Amino acid sequence: MTLPVKIKVKGLPNQDIVRGFPGIPATCPRLEGKVELRTYNLNVMNISNVKIALYRIDAVQSTSINSSRREQSYKVGDDQHLYQAPPGKKAEEFMGMDLPFRVLLPKSQPGSISLAKGAVETTYRLYVSVTLARSQKPVFEYFPVRIKRYDKLSLFRKYSTPREGKVVSPDHIVDLDYLLNQTSFGPGDTITGHVRIKPNPDWPTRSRKVKIQKLSVQIVELITFTLEGEQPVEKKRKFEKHVLAQDIRLSEVAGKLHKIVIDFPSSEIRNRDGVVPQQDQSLPLDSCNGFTTTTQTYKIEYFVVIKANFSHCKDVSIDQPIVVTPFDHVMCMSLKKAIEDAVAEAKLLEPNILFSEPRLYRPHDMNSYMLYGVQRVGSLSSSAKPKVVIR
Q: Give per-residue pLDDT as tens, 150-196.
A: 999 999 989 988 999 999 999 999 999 999 999 999 999 999 999 99
Q: Are residues 162 and 201 in the same domain?
A: yes
Burial status of residue 88 (CB atoms within 10 A of its CB: 0-12, 13-18, 19 or more): exposed
> What Cα–Cα distance (Å) separates residue 182 from each residue in 258, 275, 295, 322, 333?
17, 34, 25, 9, 15
Identify the residue with better confidence: 123 or 272. 123
What are the DSSP E strand ranges found in 226-268? 233-249, 257-263
The yes-or-no verdict on residue 385 having pLDDT over 80 is no
Task: Give the structural domain span for 354.
Answer: 5-151+340-390
Same domain, 178 and 292: yes
Domain of 173: which CATH number? Answer: 2.60.40.640
Between 2 and 353, residue with greater pLDDT: 353
Cα–Cα distances in angstroms (integers) from residue 347 to residues 124, 337, 354, 355, 357, in the given order: 27, 16, 14, 15, 21
pLDDT score at 390 = 44
pLDDT of residue 270: 58
Phi, psi values for residue 279, rounded to 5°: -80, 135
Determine the Cα–Cα distance for residues 105 and 31; give it in Å rounded to an integer: 7
pLDDT at 185: 94
Alpha helices in the chain, H assignment, sequence order: 157-160, 204-207, 250-253, 329-334, 336-347
Question: What pLDDT is attached to residue 373?
Answer: 64
pLDDT of residue 286: 61
pLDDT of residue 200: 85
Instruction: Convert the pLDDT of each residue in 184-199 to its tens digit.
Output: 999 999 999 999 999 8
Give the pLDDT band of residue 365 (cuts 50, 70, 90): confident
pLDDT over 70 percentage in the chain: 86
Do 292 and 180 fall within a single domain?
A: yes
Query: How far is 123 from 106, CA to CA, in rounded Å?
Result: 15
Q: Are 189 and 60 within one domain?
A: no
Of residues 88 and 391, the one with the higher pLDDT is: 88
In this predicted structure, the answer to whether residue 279 has a pLDDT above a threshold of 90 is no
Residue 216 shares a structural domain with residue 116: no
4-32 pLDDT tens trace: 889 999 998 888 999 999 999 999 999 99
Instruction: State residue 232's pLDDT score.
Output: 87
Residues 177 and 302 in one domain: yes
pLDDT at 101 over 90: yes
Q: What is the pLDDT of residues 44-56, one digit of tens each?
A: 889 999 999 999 9
Residues contacting residue 97 through CB under 8 Å, at least 6 positions apart: 35, 36, 37, 47, 50, 83, 358, 359, 360, 361
In a domain, 319, yes or no: yes
Task: Compute the mean pLDDT over every residue in the chain, rounded to the nearest whole number.
Answer: 86
Whether the Cβ atoms of residue 148 and residue 326 lie closer than 8 Å to each other: yes
pLDDT of 287 strictly over 60: no
- Tell me if 168 sits within 8 A of 248, measured CB to CB: no
Say whether both 108 and 13 belong to one domain.
yes
Q: Please report whether residue 335 resides in a domain.
A: no
Question: Model's pTM, two decimal places?
Answer: 0.86
Confidence (pLDDT) at 281: 64
Residue 275 belongs to a domain: no
Both 319 and 351 in one domain: the answer is no
pLDDT tens for 329-364 read 999 999 999 999 999 999 998 877 777 889 888 888
For the chain, the domain total comes to 2
Q: Is the pLDDT of residue 391 over 60?
A: no
**6 — alpha (psi -120 to 50), left (phi > 0) or beta?**
beta
Query: Are 232 and 127 members of one domain?
Result: no
pLDDT of residue 278: 58
333 within domain boundaries: no
**Confidence band for 62, pLDDT divided at 50, 70 and 90:** low
Average pLDDT of 306-314? 93
